[in-house]
Amino acid sequence: MSHDIPTPPDSDQEELDDIVDFTHLSVTDSPSPSSPIPTTTTTTTETDELEFPPLSQEDVLSCQFSSWQKIFRRHVPKATVLKPLEDGFIEYLNSDGIFLPSESEEGEWSSDDEFNDRNTRIKELNPTTTTTTATTTTETEQLKWSDDEADENDFVMAFPELDQKIREVIDDYGSVMPKLNWSSPRDAAWISTTNTLKCVTPNDVYLLLKASNFITHDLLHAFDACSSSSSSSSPRPDFELVLKKWININPSLEFRIFVRSRRILAISQRSSAHFAFLSPIRAHLLSLITEFFNSAFLSPPATSEFSLQNFVFDVYIPKPDEQPAKVWLVDINPFSPTTDSLTFSWSELLSLDPSSSLPPELRLVSAEDGVHSFSTKPFSESMVPRDVVDASLTGGVGIAEFAKQWRDMLDKQADPDSIPDDDEGNEADDEM
């Protein structure tokens, strides 16, 4: 019995059938610092008292893209890995603010030409384009950056080798979706003109990476969930930029599988929306995913080359009604609270017995829960300043305090007596 499965507009799903080996293009020979996995909706308070299986740095490293891609090559869509990334580029990603390298090709932003103000909007995000002198009193309402602050951004102004490598990949693929070792910048899609991760220029890639908290987590907190006994024993990874060929994926057909002791514990729908057509084919989807797990993870080469016993992996099934239906491996994540448990809670997952003879549950989003998901835009906390988010977490008192601080700041800007004259400004500079 066939079921009508929605297909996203202008779908590129057929491109998944064209698989090639990944090309590892070296950008520099110098190693770089260590990196992380992004924290999602699971909170610290929910998981503090839960007992997870021990997680080592080696386990986390086994989940970085380049560690498992070759093992599961037949099941992974096209992608190119640029590694290792140079230290200067990592410093650029870690630096404050959202700004772009200035030596990329002028006017090179996106394939959406109708957004004619894109160049202006991006330039306004670049601190080097709004620098003013500390002694200018007529422009005191504009943003002011000291010479020292401007100098701090000088090192990020050009990455010609990386630019060229990214262009070569884009020329080959047409468009790409970026990620680092573990994470894609899904929380930064809002800053793109298309509200997706689709990139057609190097600047598109840089903007998404620079605006993403998930990427920052990769760079600074990769091993936060590791047991203390393993924190100093493993080598630091080389940071890598993964450029996946852009595919217009149907979000209703993505699933997350939780594995413990090499057995499937549970399966969750990835999207938070309700899709009525999934329920009638639930048993078929469960069969497809189980068969894929057995063939990909419990058969050579994975049995000898992929040693993780506990992990979480994501799959995409573009056409489940086809015979045979193809299942694509999208990602592998640590079995830890840094990975989103989606429709389950970690408490539920940890209470499940991996040795049980019962089939795992494939949990879908109900119609009621799907309605609730429309009330909150995904990753909306990434679209406002961190101060606002922090204030909201403390309730009305925090919001009131933030509002007071904001009013005080506006009052000071509006008070002409608070603006130093030229002499006062020069004296301040001399003291600095």
For residue 176, give Cα distances in angstroms to 182, 384, 413.
Answer: 16, 26, 44
Please give the backbone phi and psi of residue 54, each rounded to the nearest 5 degrees, phi first. -55, 140
**Measured between alpha carbons, how far is 323 from 252 in angstroms, rounded to an integer?**
19
Q: Which domain covers residue 159, as residue numbers?
A: 13-380
**Measured between alpha carbons, how far is 125 from 92 in angstroms, rounded to an integer?**
14
**Measured between alpha carbons, how far is 118 from 134 in angstroms, rounded to an integer?**
29
Q: pTM above the 0.95 mark?
A: no
Structural domain includes residue 325: yes
**311 plus 420 within the same structural domain:** no
- Residues facing residue 255 across a β-bridge: 269, 315
Domain boundary among 344, 361, 380: 380
Domains identified in the chain, total number:
2
**273 plus 336 within the same structural domain:** yes
Structural domain includes residue 2: no
Structural domain includes residue 53: yes
Q: Evaluate the omega torsion of the peptide bond into residue 324 and state whether it is cis, within 30 degrees of 0.
A: yes
**320 plus 412 within the same structural domain:** no
**424 plus 367 within the same structural domain:** no
pLDDT of the chain, 432 residues: tens digit per residue: 556 666 554 445 444 544 333 333 333 333 333 333 444 444 555 566 788 999 999 999 999 999 999 999 999 999 999 999 999 999 999 888 878 876 554 444 444 443 334 333 333 333 333 333 333 444 444 444 444 444 444 444 578 999 999 999 999 999 999 999 999 999 999 998 889 999 999 999 999 999 999 999 899 888 888 876 555 555 567 899 999 999 999 999 999 999 999 999 999 999 999 999 999 999 999 999 999 999 999 999 899 999 999 999 999 999 999 999 999 999 999 999 999 999 999 999 999 999 999 999 999 999 887 655 544 555 544 455 555 555 555 555 666 776 777 677 667 666 655 444 544 444 434 444
Instruction: Residue 360: name the closest of 277, 252, 261, 276 by CA.
Output: 261
Structural domain includes residue 90: yes
Beta carbons within 10 angstroms of residue 107's beta carbon: 9
**267 plus 401 within the same structural domain:** no
